[in-house]
Amino acid sequence: MAATGVGAGCLAPSVRLRADPATAARASACVVRARLRRLARGRYVAELSREGPAARPAQQQQLAPPLVPGFLAPPPPAPAQSPAPTQPPLPDAGVGELAPDLLLEGIAEDSIDSIIVAASEQDSEIMDANEQPQAKVTRSIVFVTGEAAPYAKSGGLGDVCGSLPIALAARGHRVMVVMPRYLNGSSDKNYAKALYTGKHIKIPCFGGSHEVTFFHEYRDNVDWVFVDHPSYHRPGSLYGDNFGAFGDNQFRYTLLCYAACEAPLILELGGYIYGQNCMFVVNDWHASLVPVLLAAKYRPYGVYRDSRSTLVIHNLAHQGLEPASTYPDLGLPPEWYGALEWVFPEWARRHALDKGEAVNFLKGAVVTADRIVTVSQGYSWEVTTAEGGQGLNELLSSRKSVLNGIVNGIDINDWNPTTDKCLPHHYSVDDLSGKAKCKAELQKELGLPVREDVPLIGFIGRLDYQKGIDLIKMAIPELMREDVQFVMLGSGDPIFEGWMRSTESSYKDKFRGWVGFSVPVSHRITAGCDILLMPSRFEPCGLNQLYAMQYGTVPVVHGTGGLRDTVETFNPFGAKGEEGTGWAFSPLTVDKMLWALRTAMSTFREHKPSWEGLMKRGMTKDHTWDHAAEQYEQIFEWAFVDQPYVM
């Protein structure tokens, strides 16, 4: 506001006294300084963030004091008594502070814009960056998640929360990601650049007061904030170990939600807090307590009345269910129990005396969030049906007016056949010769006969019921009668892992099963295969089919959720010629899956021009995160049009 005031104050004199050259020069200098301040503010904040928290003078004035203190933060020490300065310094003081006479001597007023552009090499770089697509309205966005790549990842949720915030920041938004600081020995190095902020809060829940601290890293124009607590420091994966899910997960992610609500109020990142006018993007059940806390513990006291929340459902099967007796541990008012109340149907109860009463974190977000987003348009419909709603279908149906689907994007820096470091050869949509070489190298690596004419089918994913591994198992004996090669990469159910090993022994020249997971191998399979098979029973979005199309590999998928949205079945007689990027079959049966595979294999062998068209159409699809970020901006705009859903 200060810079705007300076510019506005100088415009009027420049009009009234245009005949006075000296006055006009001073007025023009004010305009230049104001524009330079606005231009350099982004660089100023970025430099502060990159340098991390620095020691401050005892009497230094706070750059942007919070409107209200954080509810849970300890009170700041009283400042020492000193005479108030007659004119407080502006946050961007010193930027462009040149003498007007020196700055504009002999320069016409109509050349001010050229002066600003050429002010310095750094300013020119900022201007070049601003040529990227920018949002019409920029916002303060706070992502709350249980995982985000590259810090911690167990699945697609980590990919989304590691990429979407960066895409939104590139479009001009100020973005923070709040997640736990997991330390299990192997992941400690991921947080090496995160610095202690000096901020800590005590959270009243679970019968006590639990202190958490905040660490911060500024990377890719995003503030990555890590909540630190001893419950995040243990061996195993993010949510469990070899003995199953951790028994205190409800406690761990309750702390995360409380901390995420406080972070925008107390953390000075780059010299400024985020404040109360935020868009909270809460992901899956781990973050679902955030909109409940906003409605129950903040807005009644006038805090966060201008904020909004968007629930992003990545997988409705995981809802954060715990016994109803744990509700008092959450620190919520008793009258808010209904928001989280959940009753299992009789068939799902353990015994005759079980009342089936529970608390459901995800349900709490469904009934309190301002907007709800699923990770594909098809999945947004499926969650409102009895088959795909996982018991929440009626609630989600009642909120259809605020329910939308947005397909995830992919990180083209990691998944790009022209630059992929995991590939032995690179290729593009204009030159596909490298793909044939990648296929030959993959066949050599796996010990399969090197044959360009044989279709190579791949599968990458977890070995469990959701991914349709049982259908692949039933189809393999009949599929192996064809002139075909098949490779599988994944881990999961020990029964399926054993089946992969035994099948490889039975079909040594046609089948390979890689038990486990390797990122480089997954890239080489995606590039080297001709066909990628995904017979998932349900798939909220799916990323492997997007990776496959990016690499010119034709997907054959079950037409469900995001798979149906992203894979268009091949049609050789379309209105504008051949259409489609793969095959989506339905219903999910062995016969239908085999029919789709045989159709794809026949096209590969007998119709090479059509096959090349399938590859190129998939490679030219826009699967970038910038496309998805633009759609999220529309959701945010709709959310701020209305009043908060729950005040």
Q: What is the CATH number of the domain that holds 593?
A: 3.40.50.2000
Whether 366 contacts 396, CB under 8 Å: yes
Please check whether residue 414 lies inside any domain of the structure.
Answer: no
Same domain? 303 vs 448 = no
**Residue whose pair of structure tokens reads 């826009």 in the numeric block:** 622
- C-beta pairs of 386-393 under 8 Å, 24+ apart in sequence: 388/316, 388/538, 389/316, 390/316, 390/317, 390/319, 391/345, 392/316, 392/319, 392/362, 392/363, 392/366
Beta partners for residue 513, in sequence order = 488
Greatest CA separation for the chain: 94
Q: What is the mean pLDDT of residues 203-216?
A: 96
Round to whole Å and give the CA distance between 238 and 234: 9
**Percent with pLDDT over 90 in the chain:** 69
0.75 exceeded by pTM: yes
pLDDT tens-place string over residues 586-629: 999 999 999 999 999 999 999 999 999 999 999 999 989 999 99
Please check whether residue 86 lies inside any domain of the structure.
Answer: no
Give the pLDDT band (50/70/90) at residue 155.
confident
Judge whether residue 253 has pLDDT over 90.
yes
Please check whether residue 10 lies inside any domain of the structure.
Answer: no
Please check whether residue 440 lies inside any domain of the structure.
Answer: yes
Round to whole Å and give the CA distance between 575 and 133: 33
Same domain? 350 vs 446 = no
Quick one: which H or E segment has residue 606?
helix 590-606
Judge whether residue 377 has pLDDT over 50.
yes
CA-based nearest residue to 463, from 514, 420, 405: 514
Beta partners for residue 134, in sequence order = none
Same domain? 559 vs 634 = no
Same domain? 275 vs 403 = yes
Beta partners for residue 459, in sequence order = 488
Same domain? 438 vs 301 = no
Same domain? 381 vs 440 = no
pLDDT at 95: 36
CA-based nearest residue to 10, from 104, 117, 119, 85: 104
Judge whether residue 540 has pLDDT over 60.
yes
Question: DSSP 3-state assignment of 241?
Answer: strand
Question: DSSP 3-state assignment of 238?
Answer: coil
Whether 609 contacts 618, CB under 8 Å: no
pLDDT at 132: 65
pLDDT tens-place string over residues 123-153: 444 434 445 678 778 999 999 999 999 999 8
Please check whether residue 135 lies inside any domain of the structure.
Answer: no
Same domain? 186 vs 236 = yes
Total number of domains in the chain: 2
Please check whether residue 108 lies inside any domain of the structure.
Answer: no
Same domain? 316 vs 459 = no
pLDDT at 135: 77
pLDDT at 548: 97
Judge whether residue 405 has pLDDT over 80.
yes
Please check whether residue 74 lies inside any domain of the structure.
Answer: no
Q: What is the mean pLDDT of residues 79-94?
A: 42
Same domain? 306 vs 439 = no
Same domain? 344 vs 229 = yes
Same domain? 533 vs 605 = yes
Round to whole Å and give the CA distance between 585 and 591: 10
Least trusted range by pLDDT, from 62-71, 99-108, 539-548: 99-108
Residue type, 260: A
Same domain? 370 vs 389 = yes
Domain that holds residue 475: 432-621
Beta partners for residue 148, in sequence order = 152
pLDDT at 120: 41
